[in-house]
Structure 1
C-alpha cells in the first residue's frame, strides 16, 4: 500500500496563505536538500484545486534542475469539482475525492505527496488517509488564513516522528496520526 505524505509551509502564527510571499528568503541548501530527500520514493502528487492552479502556473515555467524536472514530470491527481481541462501532467480525481485517494493508495507504486492545506486536507484527515505530515514552520509572522481555520475539525492527536532544524530558522515537524 502506498503512503500519503502531506507537506505544508506555515508561519510561526500558523498562516498557510500565500507562502510564496514570506517563505522564499529562507530557502537555502538545507531547504533544498530536505525537499529533495522528501521526494525520494514519491511517484505522484495529490493536490487540491487551488494548490494545483497556483503550482501549475508557477512550476510549469521552471526547469533545468533534477528536482524541478522530476516535480514537473510527476503525475498529478487533482481534487476538483470545477476544472475539466487540466494540464501539467494532471488529471482529476474521479468521483468522491476520499474514495479516489483510497484507490490510489491501494495501487502499486511509490508514495504520494500532497502540498498545500485546505478543505481537501480536512477530507483526507477525516478519512484517515494521510500517513505522514511534514509541517515546515518558518520564523516569520504573516497575515492570512491559518492552518485548518474554520474547517470544523474534531480534535486530532499526532505522534511526533522527528524534527529537523535548519540554520535559517525553519523547523520541520514530521508527524503521523495517532493509531
Structure 2
C-alpha cells in the first residue's frame, strides 16, 4: 500500500501562509536535497484547489529554468480535491464526490508514495479518515506574527514523532505519524 505524505512549511508561531515571504532566506542545498528525496519517493501528488491553482500557474513556466525537477513536477499525475474547480489542466484529475473514499482508493493502487503539498481544508477530511501516513512539518526559525495558521480549527489529534532532521540553516523537519 502506498503512503500519503504531507509536506508543509511552518513558522515557529504556526503560520503556513506565504512561505515565499519568510522561508526563502533558508532555502539552501540541504533544503533542496530533503525536498528532492520526498519528491523522488513519490509518483503522484495530492493537492487542494488553492495549492493546485498556484502550482499550475508557476511550474509549467519553470521547466526551462529548473530542468529535470520541473519536468518531473509537470509530468507527475496530480489529484485535486475541489468542490468548485470545473476543469483541470497540468496533468491533473479532479476528485469529485467522496474525497476520502477516492484517496483511500488511490493509496491501494500499486506505486510509490503520494505526496501532498499545501495545508488547508482538505486536511480536515484526511485527518478525520486517518488517511495521512506521515507529516513532514518543516519548522522554520521565523516568527511571522500573523497569517494563515497550521491546521487551525481542527479537533485534537495526537501524533507520534518518528524522526527529526535538523538543517544548518535552522530549519528542523519534524516527521510525525498518526498514533495507533
Gaps of at least 5 residues in structure 1 are: none
Gaps of at least 5 residues in structure 2 are: none
Equivalent residue number for residue 114 of structure 2? 112
2:52 equivalent to 1:52: yes
2:158 equivalent to 1:157: yes
Q: Secondary structure at the match of 1:61?
A: helix
Q: Is the 8 A contact 2:42 2:112 kept in 1?
A: yes
1:41-84: CA deviation from partner (whole Å, max 9, x where unpaired) = 20000000111111111222212422222112101000011111
1:152-177: CA deviation from partner (whole Å, max 9, x where unpaired) = x2211111111111111111001100
Distance in 1, Cα, partners of 2:21 & 2:79 = 26
Distance in 2, Cα, partners of 1:21 & 1:122 = 26
1:25-48: CA deviation from partner (whole Å, max 9, x where unpaired) = 110100000011112320000000
Equivalent residue number for residue 4 of structure 2? 4
- TM-score for the superposition, normalised by structure 2: 0.94
Equivalent residue number for residue 132 of structure 2? 130
2:39 equivalent to 1:39: yes
Q: Secondary structure at the match of 1:145?
A: coil
Number of equivalenced pairs: 177
Greater shift, 27-36 or 65-74, is seen at: 65-74
Distance in 1, Cα, partners of 2:31 & 2:168 = 10
Equivalent residue number for residue 174 of structure 1? 175
Distance in 1, Cα, partners of 2:124 & 2:97 = 17
Q: Secondary structure at the match of 2:44?
A: strand
2:84 equivalent to 1:82: yes
- In proportion to residue count, which structure has more helix? 2
Equivalent residue number for residue 150 of structure 2? 147
Cα RMSD, aligned residues only: 1.1
- TM-score for the superposition, normalised by structure 1: 0.95
